[in-house]
Amino acid sequence: MRTFLSRHHADPTANTIAQALGWFSIGLGALEILAPRKMARTFGMPRSRGVLAGYGVREIASGVGLLWAKDRRPWIWSRVGGDALDVATLAAGMGPSNPRRGTTGLAMAMVLGVAALDIFCAARLSAAPGRAAPVRDYSARSGWPRGAAAARGSARDFATPRDMRAPPGLRHLNGGEQPG
């Protein structure tokens, strides 16, 4: 029997967070791509705008991955990796030579906060057993007290009411009479 491996419902909390992080990634990525100069200046790191645009592409990729991919795990881990890069980049800008290191510090605090969420979510998603097997076995719940063979067509005595008949012009497709 094939195994069922579905990310849905396995861990609803982690899935909800992953989805929120996905949208967040896309939003932040768009900002980094559309206004890298402005962002770089805000942090007092005008020379890092090329880097920022690059990070924007990375953010959008993780976001799309988180929202669309069948398996979210690689994408959430890619965010964790990206957080490390962000931290390194911001750390480089925290030196005394940066007149705006206050803002940079704030950004650092935010990145660390989101990173914590990323790590939590990545851990939860990776810990979830996936959906290797149904948690309960309903293979005996046929609903047929007299067995499956007896059930097939057991209601052929039922006459479809007139208002629910398939249109007569179409019935021949089903092997019945030809339309008149």
Partner 1 sequence: MRALCYHGKQDIRCDTVPDPRIEDPRDAIIKVTSCAICGSDLHLYDGFMPGMENGDIMGHEFMGEVMEVGRDNTRLKVGDRVVVPFTIICGECEQCRRGNYSVCERSNRNASVAAKVFGHATAGLFGYTHLTGGYPGGQAEYVRVPYADASAVKVPSTLTDEQVLFLGDIFPTGWQAAVACDIEPSDTVAIWGCGPVGQFAIRAAIMLGAKQVVAIDNVPERLVMAKAAGATVIDFDQESVVERLNELTGGKGPEKCIDAVGLESHATRSVDALYDRAKQAVMMETDRPHVLREIMYVCRPAGTISVPGVYGGLVDKIPFGAFMNKGLTMRTGQTHVNRWTDDLLRRIEEGQIDPSFVITHRASLEEGPALYKTFRDKQDGCVKVVLRP
Instruction: Give the residues lining the site for partner 1 (CB under 8 A).
Output: 2, 4-9, 12, 67-70, 131, 133-146, 148, 150-156, 158, 160-161, 163-167, 170-171, 173-176
Token pair of 169 as six digits: 């012009």
Least distance CB 82 / partner 1 (angstroms)? 22
Cβ-based nearer residue to partner 1, 3 or 97 = 3
Cβ-based nearer residue to partner 1, 47 or 70 = 70
Token pair of 138 as six digits: 């309903």
Least distance CB 108 / partner 1 (angstroms)? 31
Report yes or no: 98 and 45 within 8 Å, Cβ to Cβ.
Answer: yes
Least distance CB 67 / partner 1 (angstroms)? 6
Cβ-based nearer residue to partner 1, 47 or 162 = 162
Cβ-based nearer residue to partner 1, 9 or 47 = 9
CA 160/CA 101 separation, integer angstroms: 77
Q: Which of 78, 3, 86, 80 is nearest to 51 (CA)?
A: 86
Token pair of 88 as six digits: 């390194």
CA 108/CA 82 separation, integer angstroms: 13
In the chain, the amino acid numbered 61 is A
Least distance CB 5 / partner 1 (angstroms)? 7
